[in-house]
Structure 1
Amino acid sequence: MKHRYQINGISCGGCVTRVKKTLEEHPNIENVEIFLQPVGATIVKMNKKLTVEELQGQLNELDGYTIAEIN
């Protein structure tokens, strides 16, 4: 199942790579797509739905990024 999010703090391709790698380390995340246009738009494919808090917990390994669900 795919879910749409906005990740704040993304500013370049290096950010995209770092955030993607960190999120994909979670066992319930299959794939992450992060876009620079619009900046920070993200699609996360999961095998089990995670809460925004769980995703933020995973992102907290990095400094300066926050995630919010897009409806």
Structure 2
Amino acid sequence: MKQKFQINGISCGGCVARVKKTLEEHPNIEKAEIFLAPKGAAIITMNEMLAVSEIQEQLSKLNGYTITEIN
């Protein structure tokens, strides 16, 4: 299942690569697509539904990034 998110703190391609790698290390995240335009937009494909707080916990392995769900 795919969900749309906004990741704050994304400013360059390096950020995209680090965040993508960290998110995809989570066992229930199949794929993370993160975009620079619009900045920080993300589509995350999951094996099973994760709460935003669970994704934020994974993202907290990196400093300076926060995630919110887009409806």
Q: Please, what TM-score do these two structures have when normalized by structure 1?
A: 0.99
> Which runs of structure 2 are paired with 1:16-31 in the superposition (5 Å)?
16-31=16-31
Q: Which runs of 4+ in 1 moved over 3 A?
A: none
The CA RMSD measured in Å over matched residues stands at 0.2
Cα deviation 1:20-54 (Å, max 9, x = unaligned) = 00000000000000000000000000010000000
CA distance in 2, matches of 1:21, 1:68: 18
Q: Please, what TM-score do these two structures have when normalized by structure 2?
A: 0.99
Report the identity percentage: 70
Secondary structure, aligned partner of 2:50: coil
5+ residue gaps, structure 2, are none
CA distance in 1, matches of 2:25, 2:57: 12
